[in-house]
């Protein structure tokens, strides 16, 4: 943090500095909000995919083909 030694003494220069800091803060806040929204969307997608995997496992269990399905799916996920 600054100790004040590097701040301009001119009032107009100080006002410009404060306005620039506010604009930078607003831009960073907007970016944080966007990242939080993106993360929430990705979390929803992960939950949707987990549910789909569980459904496929149940279907495979009911047909006795779970091991084949899991091996096939695991290989595709790793690649």
Stretch 45-51: mean pLDDT:
92
pLDDT at position 77 over 70: no
Pick left, alpha or beta for residue 8 (phi over 0 → left; psi -120 to 50 → alpha; otherwise beta).
beta
Q: Give pTM, 2 decimals.
A: 0.58
d(CA 15, CA 22): 11
For residue range 9-20, what is the model confidence (pLDDT) as tens digits? 899 999 999 999
Quick one: pLDDT band at residue 71, thresholds 50, 70, 90? low
Quick one: pLDDT band at residue 26, thresholds 50, 70, 90? very high
């Amino acid at each position: 943090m600054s100790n004040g030694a590097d701040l301009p003494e001119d009032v107009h220069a100080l006002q410009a500095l404060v306005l620039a800091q506010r604009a930078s803060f607003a831009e960073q806040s907007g970016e944080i909000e966007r990242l939080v929204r993106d993360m929430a969307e990705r979390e929803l997608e992960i939950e949707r995919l987990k549910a789909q995997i569980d459904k496929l496992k149940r279907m495979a269990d009911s047909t006795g083909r779970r091991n084949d399905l899991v091996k096939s799916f695991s290989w595709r996920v790793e690649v």
